[in-house]
Structure 1
Amino acid sequence: MSGVSVDMRREGDGAVLSIAGQVVMATLHVLEPSLSKAPSGARVVIDLSRVDTLDTGGAWRILQLQAKLEAEGSRVQIVGLDPHEAELLETVARGLPAAEGIEEPPGGFVGWVAGVGEKVADIARTSIEILGFIGLVLARAVNTLIRPSRLRGTALVHHMQEVGFNAVPIVSLMAFLIGVVLAFQGSVQLRQFGAEVFVVNLIAISVLRELGILLTAIIVAGRSGSAFTAAIGSMKIREEIDAMRTLGLDPIEVLVLPRVFALLFMLPVLGFIANVMGLLGGGLMSWIELGVSPGMFIARLYETTDIWHLGVGFIKAPFFAFIIGVIGCYEGLKVEGSAESVGRLTTASVVLSIFSVIVVDAIFSVFFAEIGV
């Protein structure tokens, strides 16, 4: 096979590219360095009169060169083609995909309304998908409860350690400091009315009913929910989930249920620890700031705190756990293609979990207030 060559020369304000030899797929690697340096000008002539053979690969490269030069502002003329080569070039040109223009988004008020509409549509679509995923998880959970042997005990214990035992230090520290802050700020405000003793009521109701379990759920959402999304998303990228399906394994049973059950078991435990540490921090600050002794604090706590304050927090815990687990796994299963997708959906998982937990907590607060609990 003979070679291929390119002769480039300037003519006035334009240029002439004379291509000779066999312009075929096998010689494009030889042709490419010369064509990439093709000069542009007001007028460029591509002379193919010395071309011996032209195939579809060569015709495509000539057309790409023409498009590049025209994009740079040159008027391009292809000369020297015999009828067969001209027909081939025309056929390849018809087969090229049309260039897609970039549609400018609408601006001003119309653009703002369009953006709001897209966000609302995304929220509605995501809500429907999550409801469907919740139904799928519940169906698998019922099937597992009917046949407990399908539950993977080793995975369950592992996740219980990860989301429960390993989270005890951060949850304890958080709750202790929240108790300290409540006691200090409450004492500052109540001292103005001579009602310092009611700081015990403030700490007990705030920690037991709301802050203990709510802040624990937020920490678990940021710590464990994001870990669920990242772990399952990484498996999705490595096609491990596709391999599970090929082996006849259900990803919901293998990956989702152990994580959700682990949260259902451990979030109430973490909430109880948070309550104890919150009361401990509040009692310590009350002793330091107000002189309320530990004995007096415990006595006041026993006299004024209803058991339902503790029960309200424990009632909310399983709902928070289910929401965090389902959303974390749902976002992980949505990962596609790249590590960037893992990071983006991990962030979305944390934001959506925390938002959903706060919304559910608000609903519970209104509900318990209406029934007088």
Structure 2
Amino acid sequence: MMNPVDPGFALETSDERTILRLTGDWTVATLHLVEKGLAATRLPPGAALDVSGLGRIDTAGAFLIDRLLRAGSNWPPQLIGAHASASSLLEQVHAVSDPVIPAPQRPPGLIDLLERIGRGTVDLLSELVATLAFLGETMATILRLGVRPWKLRWTSIVSVMEEAGLNAMPIVAFLSFFVGMVVAYIGATTLRDFDLEIYTVELIGYSMLREFGVVLTGIVLAGRTNSSFTAQIGTMKMRQEIDAMQTLGLKPMEVIVAPRVLAMLVMTPILAFIATLAGIAGGVVVGWTSLDINPGLFIERLRTSVPIDQFWVGMAKAPVFGLVVALIACRQGLLTGGSVQSLGHRTTTSVVQAIFAIIVLDALFAIFYMELGI
């Protein structure tokens, strides 16, 4: 086995041109001798590369030389002398290496702000269009399965209902109970100044039946179930399990997306109902302990003062919130790439989009109900 010859280089500058002369073996075993010095070297444009004294070279050495040539905008290189593999190795490394792109110079001030706003608006519209397209594909898949119900995967649907619905019930009820207590305390404290503490019952009824019960359910599902769906589907995508399904003739929309969407359409209203009852229970506790309103009087006043249509106003939102949470989670999971960073990014994006969509949809529902006079 031949002993390696220490690599070296010399930069010669004359009035005509600059020449970088390479000597010795430029291999992975010897590059540490010249790496620091080469990194501090800058080639002017038009510099030539003398390889007549170059010994052995591998892809590691070619990479260092290619990086130096790129930094000085000296590609393709002007080679002086003959070498058996230097030219071909440099071309191969150059083809697969990422180009050195200088950092873009951002325009200052107002132009930069307008550019950011414009890019954000375009990204938002593109994401909205893509989500609506995914919604259409999902609805078409569900309708197709509805015509042929024997193709529905009932085991998957029941499993998702248990995981995303039944297992989420304690945290939804727990959170809504304490939110109901908070609303009752705030109402009692505010209404006490007007000697109207009894109207805390109406405040609890309207707020929990109409808004807080279903909105809290949607936000909990966005943080808990949404991230779970995205992580599950993203992991399947990373492991190429979805590609394997397609190879076997299975459609991911039928196997993965449809069961989750159907399960959420069923379980979200149930969870919203539990959340509403828990919030009212929190108000009952506050009324009993702080306002001397016994539970019987509380429930009777709630029944006579708060119309039942307020309950249906809130429950009508629940299937929509469940559908949105499932759609965003499944879409972001299917968009996951092959890296862990992509999985984390998609999971975060999924949760943020779901919470944002729930708040926006709730505001649109409020405007819609206001126009209807409900």
Q: What TM-score do the two structures reach when normalised by structure 1?
A: 0.83
Q: Who is 1:217 aligned against?
A: 218
The 2-side partners of 1:230 and 1:125 are apart by 23
Alignment match, 1:342: 343
Aligned twin of 1:248: 249
Using the TM superposition, give the Cα deviation of residue 103 of structure 1 relative to its aligned residue in structure 2, in angstroms. 2.5
**Counterpart of 1:229?**
230
**8 Å contact from structure 1 (residues 6, 18) kept in 2:** no
Q: Work out whether residues 176 and 213 of structure 2, in 8 Å CA contact, stay in contact via their aligned partners in 1.
A: yes
Contact in 1 for aligned 2:180/2:279 (Cα 8 Å): yes
Task: Name 1:277's counterpart in structure 2.
Answer: 278
- C-alpha change, 1:239 and 1:41, in structure 2 (3 Å) is closer
How far, CA to CA, are the matches of 1:142 and 1:201 in structure 2? 41
When structure 1 is superposed on structure 2, of 126-135 and 343-352 the one drifting more is 343-352
What is the match of residue 200 of structure 2? Answer: 199
Indicate the residue corresponding to 2:146 in structure 1: 145
Matched letter for residue 222 of structure 1: G
Equivalent in the alignment of 1:19: 23
CA contact (8 A) 2:42 2:68 kept: no
The equivalent residue for 1:160 is 161
* Structure 1 residues 157-204: Cα deviation after superposition (integer angstroms, max 9, x where no partner): 110001111011111111110111111111111111111111111100
Asked whether the equivalents of residues 268 and 314 of structure 1 are also in contact (C-alpha less than 8 Å), the reply is yes
Give distance in 2, aligned partners of 1:94 and 1:218. 52
Contact 2:4 2:30 in 1 (8 A): yes
Quote the offset at 1:337 in angstroms. Answer: 2.1
The within-5 A match list for 1:181-200 is 181-200=182-201
Question: Over aligned residue pairs, what C-alpha RMSD do you find?
Answer: 3.7
Give the whole-Å Cα distance in 2 for the aligned partners of 1:224 and 1:148. Answer: 26
Q: 1:289 maps to which residue?
A: 290
Per-residue Cα deviation, 1:54-96 (whole angstroms, up to 9, x for no partner):
8xx6799479448649969xxxxx99x65x5599859967995
- Match of 2:338, SS state, is coil
**1:204 and 1:301 in contact (8 A); partners too:** yes
Q: Report the secondary structure of 1:335's partner residue.
A: coil
The equivalent of 2:16 in structure 1 is none
TM-score of the two chains, using structure 2 as the length reference? 0.83
* Amino acid of the structure 1 residue aligned with 2:241: E
Aligned to 1:177: 178
Matches within 5 A, 1:91-170: 96=94, 99-170=100-171
Q: Secondary structure at the match of 2:168?
A: helix
How many Å apart are 1:137 and its aligned residue?
0.1
The count of residues paired between Structure 1 and Structure 2 equals 356
Alignment check: 8 A CA contact 2:226 2:329 kept: yes
Distance 1:86 1:60, change over 3 A: farther
The 8 Å contact of residues 204 and 305 in structure 1, kept in 2 or not, is answered as yes
Instruction: Classify the secondary structure of the residue corresponding to 2:250.
Output: coil
Distance 1:123 1:182 in 2: 34
Q: Is the 8 A contact 2:325 2:354 kept in 1?
A: yes
| Partners of 1:212 and 1:271 within 8 A in 2 | yes
Structure 1 unaligned residues grouped into runs of 5+: 73-77
Worse overlay, 142-151 or 337-346: 337-346
Separation of aligned partners in 1, 2:2 and 2:221: 70
Give me the identity figure in percent.
Answer: 36
2:187–2:203 CA contact under 8 A, matched in 1? yes
Cα pair 1:63 1:93 within 8 Å, conserved: no
Distance 1:342 1:61, change over 3 A: closer
The 1:144/1:195 distance shift into structure 2, 3 A limit, reads same
Q: Secondary structure at the match of 2:103?
A: coil
Structure 2 distance, partners of 1:323, 1:110, is 36
Cα deviation digits, residues 253-293 of structure 1 (max 9, x gap): 11111111111111111111111111111011001111001
**CA separation in 1, counterparts of 2:186 and 2:193?**
12
1:104 partner SS: coil
| Equivalent pair of 2:217/2:271 in contact (CA under 8 Å) | yes
State the alpha-carbon separation in 1 of the partners of residues 42 and 104 from structure 2.
Answer: 29
CA distance in 2: counterparts of 1:176 and 1:63, whole angstroms: 63
Secondary structure of 1:194's aligned partner: coil
- Say whether the 8 Å CA contact 1:176–1:278 is kept in structure 2: yes
- Distance, in Å, in 2 between the alignment partners of 1:193 and 1:63 is 79
- What's the secondary structure of 1:19's corresponding residue? strand
- 1:322 maps to 323
Asked whether the 8 Å contact 1:19–1:46 carries over to 2, the reply is no
Write 1 or 2 for the structure with the bigger share of helix.
1
Report the CA distance between 1:362 and its aligned residue. 1.3
Match of 1:75 in 2: none
